[in-house]
Structure 1
Amino acid sequence: MKNYAIWIAAWLMLACASTKQADKINLNDVQVAQKLIGLEFSEAKIDTMLGYLEENLQGYEQMRTFELSYDTEPALYFEPFPIGFEFPKETPIHQWEIPDNVDLPENPETIAFLPILELASLIKSRKLTSVQLTEIYLSRIKKHDSQLLSFVTVTEELALELARKADEEIAAGKYRGPLHGIPYGVKDLAAVPGYPTTWGSEPYKDQYLDQTATVVKKLEDAGAVLLGKLVSGALARGDVWFGGKTKNPWDLSQGATGSSAGSGSATAAGLVAFSIGTETLGSIVSPSHRCGVTGLRPTFGAVSRHGFMTLAWSMDKVGPIGRSAQDCAVVYDFIRGQDHLEKTVKTTGFSYAYPTEIKTLKVGYFQKLFETDSGKVLPQFASTLEEFRQLGIELQPVNLPDSFPFEVFDIILRAEAGAFFDELVRTGRVDQMVEQHRGSRANSLRQSRFIPAVEYIQANRHRTRLIEEFSKAIAGFDVVLSPTFGGNQMMITNLTGHPALALPTGFDERGRPKGITLLANYFDEAKILQLAEVYQASYSHHGKVPTGVKGQ
């Protein structure tokens, strides 16, 4: 019996040693892994690396025992501005001229689609109270959102409380400006105390964050009324979330696209006066284009992202979506600039003037993106380019940079997203997400673990070159016109951090909105907004009531 016990003990020790040895990184592990990075080392060289790889793994495991809060940014952060760039001087909020001759429409639907400054006029003159306006939007949400799925959470009690406060302040002569009493919605990546911040994803649908996003705080200070949290596609991807698919109000068989799907859909449908969206790789511009609204993606660093979910620290931007360029200009003016809570935020200038002499603007266009290979203008853009020429603008051709490894740049977003959602993947909670197909956010986060740090750094070095080249290409222009999709424009300008404006330009043969994108140099938001406002004053392609929500 004694010998048998000794034999059992010896066997267990050998088994444990074998298991421990099996857990170690070995030659075969490295040989297989080499295929993921396109490199091949000899067996002798691999043998010399095994100790380092074991130490690396031990370091990863130790690091994972230390918690990181959502608002902890990397020590290395993105600075997109080319060498020698001069930042604008800080300017105060523009003195917006509120018209004093606006009549109150009888039809609530007409009221819901009025521009911000006309709504401001009605509220300031007390022809319409903020409570009445808020109730109009709440009624429209209850009537139409079951089809659109643009809201995650309706903050009805808070909205009415803020509206009553606005009415009391205005009655007492304490008018805060054009957003005072104006109802809006914010993409549900932004934290609002007391309400879920779901990030559009099943694992976070019951998440409450005890902080207020800077943009929400700035709008609160301006007297705006928060109607609710608008849908983000799951973890800022697409228009599908745990509650379904957010719809385009112009065609309910079609999704709103982009992760600011709720913001685009609700604004187009007249469920809010304006909304706040975010963009990393098209999520303001794309749903604005699809839903026929005007969306501003500001310069990287022009608007604080504090209190918003991070998808990619070096690519995320926050901006307004409205039914006109003027609406976007008003909202941007109030949310831009420093908050001393988020280190990428810069001082901003905003010299907005309307009417403006647009004939003095130097306007370029990415000619090759607007034309076929034979040099003929694509039919969907012919009338739009002619409309700009009719405004007295001479369009000058510009070329997009093309000698870059565009296929690799997406790893920048995916690697940064993988870092932010590290815990989600390691715990397996990523499996709870609704979409699990090859192109899903869940799958993108899983594969991010296999992006080498060296390649991430190399991609950012190429990005530095791209910033310099693209900045040089458009430096001589005030505004550049581009198709919203096609070529690499959207990827390039999100990587470089230049501002963009989604501009509706009419409807296609199926009655769906179409549009283009206006681009500008860093912090030149005023120029693209001014040109867009002149265009919209001349051609009424914006502010329409979508077919999916017509009638009360």
Structure 2
Amino acid sequence: MTGVLSRKSTDLADLTATELLAAFAAGEATPSQAVDACLARIAATDDAHNAVLLLLADQARAAAAESDARWAAGTARPLEGVPFGLKDIVATAGITTTGGSSLYRDFVPTEDAALAARLHEAGGVLVAKLSTFEFACGGAVNRTFGPTRNPWDPTRTTGGSSSGSGAALALGQVPLAIGTDTGGSIRIPASFCGLTGIKATHGRVPRHGVMGLSWTMDHAGPMARSVADCALMLDVIAGPDPRDPTSIPLEDTPFAAAIGRDVTGMRVARPRGFLEQEMHPAVAAAHETALAELAATGVEIVDVELPTFDLAAVASWWIIYAEMLSLHEEHADLIEDRDEMGASLLGAAPFVSAADYLRALRLRPLFMRELEDAMAGCDALVTPAMTSLPPLIAPSMTSDLGGREVPWLEAACRTTVPFNLTGSPALVLPSGLVDGLPVSMQLVGHPRDEATLFALGTAYQAATDHHLRRPPVLGAVH
């Protein structure tokens, strides 16, 4: 055998979406075989990790059989036969969509979310609805469906709120998954689970049919095991939708065209100050190594300042809490377990006034300008994706920043939530291991310039093997 499977694992569950498509095209594998491999991996790993909320085995096998026929007939579509998972806040017609909440345990939408419909139309095969924090917020210990456990260490969290997407990808249960990101919920589990994920420009991916949390901060996007797969998926789900007035037009060139683009001579801004101010020492050291690896691709790293970005984080939370309370006010009255969603909602209520919310909205353009000024003359900006390692699962989780324990969400969102406020595209990719746990780098782009992030990300992944590392638990399933 001289094709994809001779160079890679013969277990199809270990292949990326790009590799699966190459194997299908070469006649080395079929979508039905890929789906069976993913279902077998779920059976072998999910009891210990709880990534899957709803398994759709029969539906997936039927869709895969249709994809087999399309490949045989020469009518394959862009994602033909590739298995994927959806965070369970994404509406699926005729399929339960719980939002991770007991309140929606029996909710069955009548239509697909826009992005789910696009994945189906591109030939993707939905295998499972994936775990999430309740309504994409609340605590990591979901009292209705249980916590999702990190494949690198099951005593630790995946982060969230796209917790199931992170675990499922790291375990090889699916090669592609959808996450959502209001304050970091794609990038946090991508970092904690050793994955690649992108929060694209605000409005790049339409949110019609995705349960909302904060309408000016919410994003949806791809999570995968490589930059190339994220670009492949974003090409399918991006583009305007009349049902989402915030959605933006497509670019003239597909995102996948940026894969392999030369990055020599690109300038990448490194912000000193708030975004690197307080970190676990080993994570900080790993970030220095990652910056050296990035520079070795031919990129110039340039120090810059973002002097008020500590206030950007505060403004972000004012907006999130105010909009969350508005969207979920009815739920706050219904939820009895206030250790979960109710605590997040009701605890925030006394502290965010209408004046606070309007002040944050007024400040938002100033933070956007500060970021653009700092990035002037640079192609992107680089930060650590996380300031700490994945915390131990507990009702009240904390993160070690090296001498100080802080609430885990405070540590996790320090480097992520400001870019929800600015709406900037932000790509997270693995950059090493610390104590056997993944650490990652975040690349932030100019508005609507995901392509440069994909070019930088693929150059980094071509020069390093961090994204190829898999959790030790997978050694037991081969």
TM category, shorter: 0.7 to 0.9
1:171 lines up with 2:72 in the alignment: yes
1:338 lines up with 2:240 in the alignment: yes
Out of 124, 131, 136, the position equivalent to 1:236 is: 136
Deviates more, 1:190-199 or 1:385-394: 385-394
How far apart are 1:166 and its partner, in Å? Answer: 0.6
Partners of 1:402 and 1:498 in 2: CA distance: 17
The C-alpha deviation readout for 1:134-174, integer Å capped at 9, x for no partner, is 00000111110011100110111111111011111121221
Q: Which residue is equivalent to 1:398? A: 304
Q: Verify the 8 A CA contact 1:190 1:309 in the aligned structure 2.
A: yes
Q: Which amino acid aligns with 1:112?
A: A
Q: Which residue is equivalent to 2:433? A: 507
Q: Which residue is equivalent to 1:306? A: 208
How far apart are 1:203 and its partner, in Å? Answer: 1.6
- Aligned residue pairs total 441
Q: Which residue is equivalent to 1:386? A: 292
How far apart are 1:102 and its partner, in Å? Answer: 2.2
Q: Which residue is equivalent to 1:526? A: 451
Partners of 1:545 and 1:259 in 2: CA distance: 21
Q: Which residue is equivalent to 1:257? A: 159
- The alpha-carbon distance between structure 1 residues 171 and 378, as it changes in their structure 2 partners (threshold 3 A), is closer
Q: Which residue is equivalent to 2:189? A: 287
Structure 1 regions of 5+ residues with no counterpart?
A: 1-99
Partners of 1:251 and 1:384 in 2: CA distance: 23
SS of the equivalent of 2:203 reads coil
Q: Verify the 8 A CA contact 2:258 2:452 in the aligned structure 1.
A: no
Q: Which residue is equivalent to 1:194? A: 94
Deviates more, 1:158-167 or 1:231-240: 231-240
After TM superposition, the structure 1 = structure 2 runs for residues 261-272 of structure 1, keeping only pairs within 5 Å, are: 261-272=163-174
Partners of 1:359 and 1:107 in 2: CA distance: 32
How far apart are 1:390 and its partner, in Å? Answer: 1.8
- The alpha-carbon distance between structure 1 residues 405 and 256, as it changes in their structure 2 partners (threshold 3 A), is closer
Q: Which residue is equivalent to 1:58? A: none
SS of the equivalent of 1:407 reads helix
Q: Verify the 8 A CA contact 1:370 1:377 in the aligned structure 2.
A: no
Q: Which residue is equivalent to 1:357? A: 262
TM-score by length of 1: 0.76
How far apart are 1:106 and its partner, in Å? Answer: 9.0
Q: Which residue is equivalent to 1:452? A: 353
After TM superposition, the structure 1 = structure 2 runs for residues 363-442 of structure 1, keeping only pairs within 5 Å, are: 363-368=268-273, 369-370=275-276, 378-402=284-308, 404=311, 406-425=313-332, 428-431=333-336, 433=337, 436-437=338-339, 440-442=340-342
Q: Which amino acid aligns with 1:154?
A: L
Q: Which residue is equivalent to 1:156? A: 57
After TM superposition, the structure 1 = structure 2 runs for residues 100-119 of structure 1, keeping only pairs within 5 Å, are: 101-103=3-5, 108-109=10-11, 111-119=12-20
Greater RCO (Cα-Cα under 8 Å, separation 6 or more): 2
1:320 lines up with 2:210 in the alignment: no
How far apart are 1:258 and its partner, in Å? Answer: 1.3
Partners of 1:540 and 1:230 in 2: CA distance: 27
Partners of 1:392 and 1:326 in 2: CA distance: 20
Q: Which residue is equivalent to 1:80? A: none
- Structure with larger Rg: 1
The C-alpha deviation readout for 1:382-426, integer Å capped at 9, x for no partner, is 21111122222221012124174743541211111111112212x
Q: Which residue is equivalent to 2:424? A: 498
SS of the equivalent of 2:446 reads coil
Partners of 1:461 and 1:145 in 2: CA distance: 45
1:517 lines up with 2:442 in the alignment: yes
Q: Which amino acid aligns with 2:16?
A: P
Partners of 1:538 and 1:181 in 2: CA distance: 30
How far apart are 1:464 and its partner, in Å? Answer: 2.4
Q: Verify the 8 A CA contact 2:179 2:223 in the aligned structure 1.
A: yes
SS of the equivalent of 1:252 reads strand
How far apart are 1:444 and its partner, in Å? Answer: 2.2
SS of the equivalent of 1:318 reads strand
Q: Which residue is equivalent to 1:215? A: 115
Partners of 1:301 and 1:245 in 2: CA distance: 30
SS of the equivalent of 2:461 reads helix
- The alpha-carbon distance between structure 1 residues 473 and 405, as it changes in their structure 2 partners (threshold 3 A), is closer
Q: Which amino acid aligns with 2:447?
A: Y
Out of 114, 118, 130, the position equivalent to 2:31 is: 130
- The alpha-carbon distance between structure 1 residues 454 and 377, as it changes in their structure 2 partners (threshold 3 A), is closer
Q: Which amino acid aligns with 2:297?
A: L
The C-alpha deviation readout for 1:314-350, integer Å capped at 9, x for no partner, is 0000010110111111111111111222110000214
Q: Verify the 8 A CA contact 1:288 1:502 in the aligned structure 2.
A: yes
Q: Verify the 8 A CA contact 1:311 1:420 in the aligned structure 2.
A: yes
How far apart are 1:311 and its partner, in Å? Answer: 0.3
Q: Where in structure 1 do 4 or more consecutive aligned residues deviate above 6 Å?
A: none
Q: Which residue is equivalent to 2:401? A: none
SS of the equivalent of 1:506 reads strand
SS of the equivalent of 2:441 reads strand
Partners of 1:357 and 1:249 in 2: CA distance: 34
How far apart are 1:472 and its partner, in Å? Answer: 2.3
Q: Percent identity?
A: 33
Partners of 2:8 and 2:456 in 1: CA distance: 32
Deviates more, 1:235-244 or 1:405-414: 405-414
Structure number having the greater strand percentage: 2
SS of the equivalent of 2:135 reads coil
1:246 lines up with 2:152 in the alignment: no
